[in-house]
Amino acid sequence: MKKFVPLVKNSALFDGINDDDLEHLLACLNAKVTEVKKNSFIWMQGDSHYNVGLVLHGKVNIIKEDIMGNRSLIAGIEAPHIFGESLVSSGAPQSPVSVQAAMDSTIMLIDFLRLVKTCNSACAFHSRLIQNMMKIIAQKNMYLNEKIDYLKRTTTRQKVATYLINHISDKIALKAIIPLNREEFADYLGVNRSALSRELSSMKEEGLIEYKKNKFSILDYASINELVF
């Protein structure tokens, strides 16, 4: 397991655990590492499984398929992030999604029961591991709540206004630098890309905001804030 320590140490799952302890912990968890080829499936929709996956190298896609075989991409997970944590922690009997390797990848699979059961033995950092796991799930929870806050708003303008208000980095100059390009921004807000462009243009036209690429500034805070309600 020692050779995997450099690969996993950046994962939030093992945050705050030093290398020596980590090596010990990986053994204690009985973590398995597998190489997967591009396009091969790690999990299929409808499967039952009890592992948390950690991408050591490469990328996997979370995919939803319908009966007709249409597939839609839910998310891409790259190293050093984990997947399946909500599913196994929630005790759901079947996976609502499939996981497919987006490229040749290296995956570590960790048995969930071992992860959550503090071992009686010398594994002192197990408690920290559990806290990390809980934190990861809770943070995703906060993230999803925020996303729903945008998606529920009826107009594109309201969504944009709310997003910008939440992402102000410079509170004096009211500037927001957003980590998404236009297409991703539109997708995140659940609107059509061209409709987003149109709305941004109108807002600029009306003197509410100014922007270039992913750098936005709020010119008329009162009006923008009124849209947030």
Partner DNA sequence: TAATTTGCGTTGCATTTGCAACATTTTGAG
Partner DNA sequence: CTCAAAATGTTGCAAATGCAACGCAAATTA
Residues that bind DNA (CB under 7 A): 154-157, 181-183, 190-201, 211, 213-214
Q: Least CB distance from residue 79 to DNA, whole Å?
A: 21
Picked from DNA, its own copies, none, the partner binding residue 181 (CB below 5 to 8 A depending on kind) is DNA
Q: Least CB distance from residue 221 to DNA, whole Å?
A: 20
Report d(CA 186, CA 188) in Å as an integer. 5
CB 126 within 8 A of CB 21: no
DSSP run (H or E) holding 94 = none
Structure token pair of residue 136: 């990861």
Summarize as ranges the residues that interact with its own copies (CB under 8 A): 66-68, 70, 72, 85-92, 96, 116-118, 127, 130-131, 133-135, 137-142, 144-148, 151-152, 190, 225-226, 228-229
Q: Least CB distance from residue 130 to its own copies, whole Å?
A: 6
Q: Least CB distance from residue 214 to DNA, whole Å?
A: 6
CB 175 within 8 A of CB 216: yes
Q: Least CB distance from residue 106 to its own copies, whole Å?
A: 25
Work out the burial of residue 12: count CB atoms within 10 Å of its CB; fewer than 13 is exposed, 13-18 middle, 19 or more buried.
middle
Residue closer to DNA by CB (options 99, 102) is 102
Residue closer to its own copies by CB (options 2, 140) is 140
Beta pairing partners, 73: 63
Report d(CA 129, CA 12) in Å as an integer. 9
Residue closer to its own copies by CB (options 57, 76) is 76
Residue closer to DNA by CB (options 100, 156) is 156
Residue of 52, 51, 56 whose CA lies nearest to 9: 56
